[in-house]
Amino acid sequence: MQKSLLIVVSAPSGCGKGTILGQILKDEKYYYSVSATTRAPRQGEIDGVHYRFMPKEQFEQLISENAFLEYAPYCDHYYGTLKQPIEDALAQGRHVILEIEVQGAMQIRKLVPDAKFIFIAPPDLETLRQRLTARGTESEDVITKRIEQAARELQYKEQYDYCIVNNILEDAIADFRSVIRAEELKIN
Ligand code: 5GP
């Protein structure tokens, strides 16, 4: 049987991570872990598909029940990965993709040493600002906050196994597939 991989993907917001993963996830061999969050849904986001949206009290209840593999605060909200669905998907032989920020990724590094860590980086911070502005889902204040956050996150890049720079989207998607294929073929 194909070995299942736990793949942790981090990227500052606006790096095109969602678009890259959207293509990758068309293949049924991948399972996308739907995180829990206390932030409000953005336009078009569906509960249970993009996130499990919940109030802070419910999130804290799940923390106390030890339901999370990892969780972290990010830009004034909680985000967390629920354990059970991941364990089930890995048991079915699927590759599980966690799309999480760097603090959570570092927690997984300690908990699951076999996991594979991919960082998706923007060509530069100015390009990132332009992309976030063009997306139009956040206010100017939030964009500034997220750019500052991105600069901090970029410092963690060295802790990852692979870095994919999303300059040309098709190349970034091909790079992602190459990384996974190499990991599938790896002997040890
Ligand atoms: P956004 O609000 O833009 O959807 O996500 C903000 C950040 O939270 C992104 O870097 C995203 O990868 C991260 N994130 C999403 N889900 C989780 C999670 O379950 N755990 C952690 N640690 N970060 C998450």
Ligand 1 center from residue 2 Cα (angstroms): 28
90 membership: H or E segment, kind and range: helix 83-91
Residue owning tokens 């598909």: 49
What are the chain's domains?
A: 6-185 (3.40.50.300)
Tell me how far apart the 2 most distant CA atoms of the chain are, in Å: 49
24 membership: H or E segment, kind and range: helix 17-24
pLDDT at residue 83 greater than cutoff 90:
yes
pLDDT tens column, 31-67: 999 999 999 999 999 999 999 999 999 999 999 999 9
Instruction: Determine the pLDDT at residue 131.
Output: 87
DSSP conformation letters of 151-183: HHHHTTGGGSSEEEE-SSHHHHHHHHHHHHHHH
Of ligand 1's listed atoms, the one at least distance from the Cα of 77 is 2
Rounded-to-integer distance, Cα 118 and Cα 21, Å = 12
Residue nearest to atom 17 of ligand 1 (CA): 100
Rounded-to-integer distance, Cα 188 and Cα 186, Å = 6
Of ligand 1's listed atoms, the one at least distance from the Cα of 99 is 12
Rounded-to-integer distance, Cα 51 and Cα 31, Å = 14
Distances (CA, A) of 100 to 1, 32, 186: 27, 11, 25
Ligand 1 center from residue 188 Cα (angstroms): 30
Output the ligand 1 site: residues, CB below 6 A. 13, 35, 39, 70-72, 74, 79-81, 99-101, 103-104
Of ligand 1's listed atoms, the one at least distance from the Cα of 12 is 10
The two beta strands, 35-37 and 77-82, are antiparallel
Residue nearest to atom 4 of ligand 1 (CA): 13
User: pLDDT-derived band of residue 1, with 50, 70 and 90 as boundaries?
Assistant: low
- The pTM of the full predicted model, rounded to 2 decimals, is 0.92
